[in-house]
Amino acid sequence: MFQVGRNIVAELRRIPDYRTVGRVTAVLGLLVEIGGVEGALSVGDRCKVKRRDGVAVICEVVGFRNERALLMPFGMLDGIGIGCEVELADTQPQVYPDESWLGRVVNAFGQPVDGKGPLTEGPTPYPIRNAPPSAHSRQRVAGKIDLGVRAMNTFLTCCRGQRMGIFAGSGVGKSSLLSMMTRHTTSDVSVVGLIGERGREAREFIEDDLGEEGLRRSVVVVATSDEPPLMRRQAAYMTMALSEFFRDTGRDVLCMMDSVTRFAMAQREISLSVGEPPASKGYTPTVFAELPRLLERAGPGGPGQGSVTGLFTVLVDGDDHNEPISDAVRGILDGHVVLDRAIAEQGRYPAINILRSVSRTMPGCNSEYENQIVSRARQLLATYEDMAELIRLGAYRLGTDPKVDEAIHYFPLIEEFLKQRKTECTRLADGYAELARRLDLAPAQQEVPDAGGQPAANPQGATVMERNRLRPQVNSRSTATNAGNDLNAAKRALRHDQQ
């Protein structure tokens, strides 16, 4: 009996308590101004504005001006006019997530939008706008997470609780890379926020990319580009709130957001409407204050909790990687994956530019052997890139520099390794083994301690480098130095010509 009573009280608490506080005095663009609210409202509060036809529109207080409150709607403003009644909700915006939400698609309010019927609510409220856990209460980022994409797993290994950004201009493959990882990851739960993207893409993502199998262990939050800015912004908060719920059940959650730029744009629209002066490229100071508050919510949980590994896409405006949002997000996150239009144009997908991408938890999370494979591959890529122009122009003569010859030999093999079809999945350990094989490095087994308990000889030292036909017989040091000088002179000449 007592339990029933408690349940009823809990249910009643969920119903927002609305009381009338004022009336609409003006509507300006996206803003609704209300009067008669002195001392009754504060920023972030929820209100209901009753339209003339009796339908209520939920709004949020976004600012104040001359003792009037400024509201923004979560819906359409049509039907709102001077004198319309405004009711204030007493409760904080919160959501009651539940295990049964896995496999479902919800909107920014946590309401189902997939036509699969109503959602069961859980017992614990989660604030939609939550503060990140304090730094000292968090566990450390540890343990690799398998994302199923070779290039990511080997060159940009991601750990549980790490936050990575995927940076690229429009149409270079951000969403496709994200969908590959959602589908192939081994993490317990994925929470995917599709923020301000096209409506067509949302459906394609859920049906084609995630598929039934992927959706079963995911919750998708959708706010398409046509929705009001408050909805788009709240969808990002909702994605984090749902991730926090699953994290608190002890799960390792993969939280993906496509895209953080759309969140920043939504916040910009809100701020500019209220009259906040723009700071950089029209973005207001609030945008740069909100970004860390959102992104910091991902990360490792406290003791006994799971983790939220964050993968956030950033649309790089005009392919300028120093534009303000890219710059701000790069500074907050623990790593960045740069997708390159030039690589995509060559048809190599995912178009990750390995040399410009960094995972800040590497190499700490890797074994000595894995680090050796990766640094060997990076070194070959760097050498090739340095000489790429000369090679393409045919100005480089094979045999001039053994290091360049080696890079020319291995470059296509590494490129082939980096290429991955959307439906293809490569597990973490297989990725390293495959890369080692392509680079003619000894397999990992050699790292197993020998009978005496000592680690085996450095496997890279034991490498059997293929003496391929391209490799010139450059033995004397002076010849190599001369060759280097020749190359530098050729490069200088090329640069001079280009100027």
Ligand X SMILES: Nc1ncnc2c1ncn2[C@@H]1O[C@H](COP(=O)(O)OP(=O)(O)OP(=O)(O)O)[C@@H](O)[C@H]1O
- Residues of this chain that bind ligand X (CB under 6 A): 168, 170-176, 315, 349-350, 421-422
Nearer to ligand X, 319 or 430 (CB): 319
Residue 422 contact among Mg ion, ligand X, none, beta carbon within 5 to 8 Å by kind: ligand X
Give the helix/strand (H/E) hosting 369: helix 368-393
The distance of closest approach from Cβ of residue 178 to Mg ion in the complex, given in angstroms and rounded to an integer, is: 8
Comparing CA positions, the residue from 60, 66, 1 lying closest to residue 31 is: 60
189-195 and 218-223: which strand pairing? parallel
- Residue placing its CB nearer to ligand X in the complex, 172 or 325: 172
User: In terms of CB distance, is 336 or 376 closer to Mg ion?
Assistant: 336
The one-character DSSP state at 128 is S
Q: Which option in Mg ion, ligand X, none does residue 160 bind, with CB closer than 5 to 8 A by kind?
A: none
Do you find a cis peptide bond into 259, omega within 30 degrees of 0?
Answer: yes
Instruction: Identify whether the C-beta of residue 426 lies closer than 8 Å to the C-beta of residue 148.
Output: yes
| CA atoms within a 13 Å half-sphere pointing along the CA-CB vector of 328 | 23
For residue 142, which phi and psi values (nearest 5 degrees)?
Answer: -155, 155
- Per the listing, tokens 């926090």 go with 244
| Binding partner selected for residue 376 from ligand X, Mg ion, none, CB under the kind-specific 5 to 8 Å limit | none
Contact partner at residue 173 from Mg ion, ligand X, none, CB < 5 to 8 Å by partner kind: ligand X
**Shortest approach of ligand X to residue 339 CB, angstroms?**
7
Using CB distances below 5 to 8 A depending on partner kind, what does residue 172 bind out of ligand X, Mg ion, none?
A: ligand X
What single DSSP character describes residue 459? T
Residue count at the site for Mg ion (CB under 5 A)? 1
Closest to Mg ion by CB, 209 or 406: 209
Instruction: Please select the residue that binds Mg ion; options are 107, 153, 154, 175, rule is CB under 5 A.
Output: 175
The residue among 349 and 410 lying less far from ligand X, judged by its C-beta, is: 349
223 by Cβ neighbours in 10 Å (0-12 / 13-18 / 19+) ranks as buried
**Residue 336 C-beta: closest distance to ligand X, Å:** 15
Q: E strands, 1-90, where?
A: 18-28, 31-35, 46-50, 56-65, 68-73, 85-89
Q: How far is CA 173 from the centre of its chain?
A: 13
Write b or e for each residue in 286-309: b if 16 or more Cβ atoms lie within 10 A of its Cβ, otherwise e: bbbebbeebbbbbbbbeeebbbbb
Quote the least distance from Cβ 353 to ligand X, whole Å. Answer: 14
Write each residue from 356 to 375 as x if it is in contact with Mg ion (CB under 5 A), else as -, in one continuous string.
Answer: --------------------
User: How far apart are CB 426 and Mg ion at their closest, in Å?
Assistant: 23
As measured in angstroms, the least distance from the Cβ of 212 to Mg ion is: 22
> Rounded to 10 degrees, what is the CA torsion of 127, 331, 258, 112?
0
State in angstroms the smallest separation of the CB of 169 from ligand X.
Answer: 7
Task: With residue 477 as reference, give the H or E element that holds it.
Answer: helix 477-498
* Binding partner at 92 among Mg ion, ligand X, none, C-beta below 5 to 8 Å by kind: none
Minimal distance in Å, beta carbon 207 to Mg ion? 16
| Segment contacting Mg ion by CB under 5 A, of 49-57, 169-177, 203-211, 219-227 | 169-177
Asked if 257 and 195 count as a contact pair (C-beta separation under 8 A), the reply is: yes
Indicate the residue among 107 and 175 with the shorter CB distance to Mg ion: 175
State which residue has the least CB distance to Mg ion. 175
Q: From the CB of residue 462, how many other CB atoms can be counted at a distance below 10 Å?
A: 11
Distance CA 15, CA 38 (A): 25
- Three-state DSSP class for residue 338: strand
Of 120-128, 172-180, 371-379, 434-442, the segment contacting Mg ion by CB under 5 A is: 172-180
97 and 249 in contact (C-beta within 8 Å)? no
Smaller CB distance to ligand X: residue 21 or 314?
314
Q: For ligand X, which is the closer residue by CB, 150 or 174?
A: 174
Inter-residue contact 287 to 261 (CB < 8 Å): no
- Kindly state whether residue 224 participates in binding Mg ion, applying the rule CB under 5 A: no
Query: Which residue, 259 or 271, has its beta carbon nearer to Mg ion?
Result: 259
Among Mg ion, ligand X, none, partner that 168 touches (CB below 5 to 8 angstroms by kind): ligand X
Could you tell me the smallest distance in angstroms from the CB atom of residue 176 to Mg ion?
8
Question: Of the two residues 125 and 173, which places its CB atom closer to ligand X in the complex?
Answer: 173
Query: From the CB of 167, what's the least distance to ligand X, in Å?
Result: 10
Dihedral sign, CA of 413, 414, 418, 424? positive
Residues lying near Mg ion in the complex (CB under 5 A) are found at 175
